[in-house]
Chain A
Amino acid sequence: QKEVEQDPGPLSVPEGAIVSLNCTYSNSAFQYFMWYRQYSRKGPELLMYTYSSGNKEDGRFTAQVDKSSKYISLFIRDSQPSDSATYLCAMIGSWGKLQFGAGTQVVVTP
């Protein structure tokens, strides 16, 4: 069983809709949670970083962490075609190595 599970998609939504992405994890030692965005033929870039359970907002993006359920989410409001990308969750424990989900491909159609 993978330590981090993420549905690969693709997830197709119309422009303006809310995109909802999530990951589950099995290791309760994970403390830091990140979302990376990866455009086609590019490397991943950090989108959101959270530490504690709860919500964190940054513009149209909201990251949510529920440590009790071992579940993290990313919401994109008012989605745009430029949001079409693969979104990877990542998490890190005390040992200092990032564990990535497989990534979810998102397609926002005009």
Chain B
Amino acid sequence: DVKVTQSSRYLVKRTGEKVFLECVQDMDHENMFWYRQDPGLGLRLIYFSYDVKMKEKGDIPEGYSVSREKKERFSLILESASTNQTSMYLCASSSARDTYQETQYFGPGTRLLVL
């Protein structure tokens, strides 16, 4: 069974703080993704990575950065948190070797509140 875990379920931070969100998958997947989910907007892709040390911008990368030093771990960094980054953050992974390689497996999400 694919397992994607995220470091925190709930997080409260102050404006201007640096925030780290960690994601770990245990299925040796090549691809990892970070999304944010907001009511009425669905899931929007922030960044993704197809390999270690590789990253690609998604649809809304502004204000975020990522790090992938190991295959199983993909970190999302908010350099200076702002209130408009209050959201649910979802990590996902997928395998390039699957027939349906677009099948993404999601973690439980981190609900971030920026005050």
Contacts and interface: CB of A to CB of B under 8 A. Distances in A.
Nearest to A45: B106
A6 interface: yes
Given A43-B4, A43-B90, A103-B42, A98 B109 contact: no
A102 interface: yes
A95 B85 CA distance: 27
Interface residues on A, range: 20 to 34
Given A41-B109, A43-B4, A43-B108, A98 B42 contact: no
Interface string A41-84: 11111100100000000000000000000000000000000000
A32 B43 contact: no
6 contacts: A32-B100, A43-B92, A49-B100, A97-B58, A98-B45, A98-B104
Interface of A: 4, 6, 8, 32, 34, 36, 41-46, 49, 88, 90, 92, 96-98, 100-103
The 10 closest A-B pairs by CB, nearest first: A43-B106, A102-B42, A100-B43, A100-B42, A92-B102, A44-B106, A43-B108, A43-B107, A43-B109, A102-B40
Interface of B: 4, 9, 39-45, 48, 58-59, 90, 92, 100, 102-109
